[in-house]
Amino acid sequence: MTAAADPVGATPMNMLSAINHTLHREMARDDRVIVFGEDVAKSGGVFRATDGLQAEFGATRVVDMPLAEGVIIGSAVGLAASGMVPVPEIQFLGFAYQAFHQIAGQLARLRYRTDGRLNAAVTVRAPFGGGVRTPELHSEAIESQLANIPGLKIAMPASAADAKGLLATAIRDPDPVMFLEPLRGYRAVSDPVPDGDHLVPFGEARTVSEGDDLVIIAWSYMVEIARQAADRLRTEGVSVQVLDLRTIVPLDVEAIAAAVERCGRVVVVQEAPETCGFASEVIATINDEAFYSLEAPVARVSGYDHPYPVGMLEDDYVPSVERVLAAVRRTLEMAP
């Protein structure tokens, strides 16, 4: 469900343009919003996500930082404690390992340990994910590691409209949000983006395509893979729902349960390695909420349990439409 407060129309754009457009809007809306990171200011970011911000908002609000992820996040905590609304960029999510001491040790728990006296209203933007020939640490999906840190919210849009709506919500949210952007979708995913103020609430999954034989649950770019698989299956007479979680923290437990109750068969798709990936949490949630609606074991389609591969081998690592189709077919063939 998308809440468009000001539905004056929509403009087609890709995810990258939607993100850039939203940063412009949010900076214009609230002068406490400040953008900083590696190469984000003068150069407008290595993917151009922050293009034009410094020209419009000046060098004290859009700042190039040292290549030092620890202090990019650490200083965001101090900025937030001083009443600012920092929107730092981590150039690639894999670089966030260099900042885990600040993310897990400071950012996520500032509110808890001050009993609500301090908020970390920080939105950390970070692109991630494979399929664009970037090497290992530039590609890996580490959302489940972040989801295991209480205090963080995690938004993972799959469409340009959601990139706008979730980013605006993230920036206006008083809690720290990890806003994870699919590299592969930056230019490849394009759809109509509502004009004007557009906010997508956290914790509300989106049904991308309707169906009732099986539900594919996915997030970020894997939603696009799932959608392509569902389109293919539809031509074969199989009706597949695709559920885009949009935010994994908070998680839309009700939407997951409702989809499982209706379809009875489930495939969960994630880009991360299989072990302890967020798919495991989705499956545990299904066990808790809708176990008796299952007609077959829940299938997972994941990356594999090894470091992200370099070069052309990534095509065998990142879940493909073919692998999703195979998992769907296996699941449909199982007797209830």
Partner 1 sequence: MEPTVDILKDLHYRMLRIRLFEEAAGRLFEGNKMPGFLHLYVGQEAVAAGVCVAMRDDDQVSSTHRGHGHLVAKGGDLNKMMAELMGKADGYCNGKGGSMHICDLDLNMLGANGIVGGGTPIAVGAGFANKYKGNDTVSVAFFGDGSTNIGAFHEAINMAAALRLPVLFVCENNEYGEYTRRDKVMAINDVVDRAAGYGIPGVIVDGMDAVAVYEAAVEGLARARRGEGPTFIEAKTYRYYNHHGVQTLGMKYRTDEEVDAWKAKDCIEGFERRVTEAGLISADELAAVRVELEAEVEAAVEFGENSPLPEVSTLLTDVYTEVSR
Tell me the window of 64-72, 123-131, 184-192, 236-244 that interacts with partner 1 (CB under 8 A).
64-72
Tell me the window of 14-22, 113-121, 135-143, 290-298 that interacts with partner 1 (CB under 8 A).
113-121
In this structure, what DSSP letter does residue 59 have? T
| Interaction mask 28-47, partner 1, x per CB under 8 A | ------x-------------
CB of 173 to partner 1, least distance (A): 8
Rounded CA gap, 325 and 33, in Å?
A: 43
Tell me the window of 10-18, 102-110, 129-137, 232-240 that interacts with partner 1 (CB under 8 A).
102-110
62 counts as binding partner 1 under rule CB under 8 A? no
Tell me the window of 42-50, 155-163, 233-241, 245-253 that interacts with partner 1 (CB under 8 A).
245-253
Q: Residue 257 is which amino acid? A: A
CB of 226 to partner 1, least distance (A): 23
Q: Which position among 119, 190, 207, 228 is part of the footprint of partner 1 (CB under 8 A)?
A: 119
What is the DSSP track for 103-136?
A: HTTTGGGHHHHTTTS-----EEEEEE-SSS---G
In this structure, what DSSP letter does residue 51 have? T
**Residue 138 among the catalytic residues:** yes
Rounded CA gap, 208 and 83, in Å?
A: 38
Dihedrals phi, psi of 11, to nearest 5 degrees = -125, 130
Give the residue carrying structure tokens 């809440």: 3
CB of 202 to partner 1, least distance (A): 7
What is the number of other CB atoms lying within 10 angstroms of the CB of residue 5? 9
The smaller minimum CB distance to partner 1, of residues 249 and 268, is found at 249
Within residues 157-196, the interface with partner 1 by CB under 8 A covers: 173-175
Pair 278, 149: CB distance under 8 Å: no
In this structure, what DSSP letter does residue 4 have? E
Rounded CA gap, 106 and 299, in Å?
A: 36
CB of 171 to partner 1, least distance (A): 14
CB of 316 to partner 1, least distance (A): 35
Cα 275 to Cα 281, 287, 321: the distances in Å are: 11, 17, 21
Q: Which position among 23, 41, 93, 111 is part of the footprint of partner 1 (CB under 8 A)?
A: 111
CB of 243 to partner 1, least distance (A): 17
8-30 core/surface letters (b: 16 or more CB in 10 A; e: else): eebeebbbbbbbbbbbbbbbeee
| Active-site choice (21, 24, 101, 138) | 138
CB of 115 to partner 1, least distance (A): 4
Crossing angle of the two packed helices 321-333 and 222-235, in degrees rounded to 10: 60
Cα 160 to Cα 28, 163, 200: the distances in Å are: 20, 5, 12
Secondary structure (3-state) at 315? helix
90 counts as binding partner 1 under rule CB under 8 A? no
Rounded CA gap, 230 and 248, in Å?
A: 22
The smaller minimum CB distance to partner 1, of residues 84 and 218, is found at 84
Single out the residue of 238, 254, 262, 250 nearest to residue 325, CA to CA. Answer: 238
Q: Which position among 102, 144, 169, 220 is part of the footprint of partner 1 (CB under 8 A)?
A: 102
Q: Which position among 105, 190, 261, 295 is part of the footprint of partner 1 (CB under 8 A)?
A: 105
Within residues 4-33, the interface with partner 1 by CB under 8 A covers: none
Rounded CA gap, 224 and 232, in Å?
A: 12
1 counts as binding partner 1 under rule CB under 8 A? no
Chain contacts with partner 1 (rule: CB under 8 A): 34, 60-61, 63, 65-66, 68, 70-71, 73-84, 86, 101-102, 105-106, 111-119, 150-151, 153, 173-175, 202-203, 249-251, 253
Where in the sequence numbering do the catalytic residues fall? 138
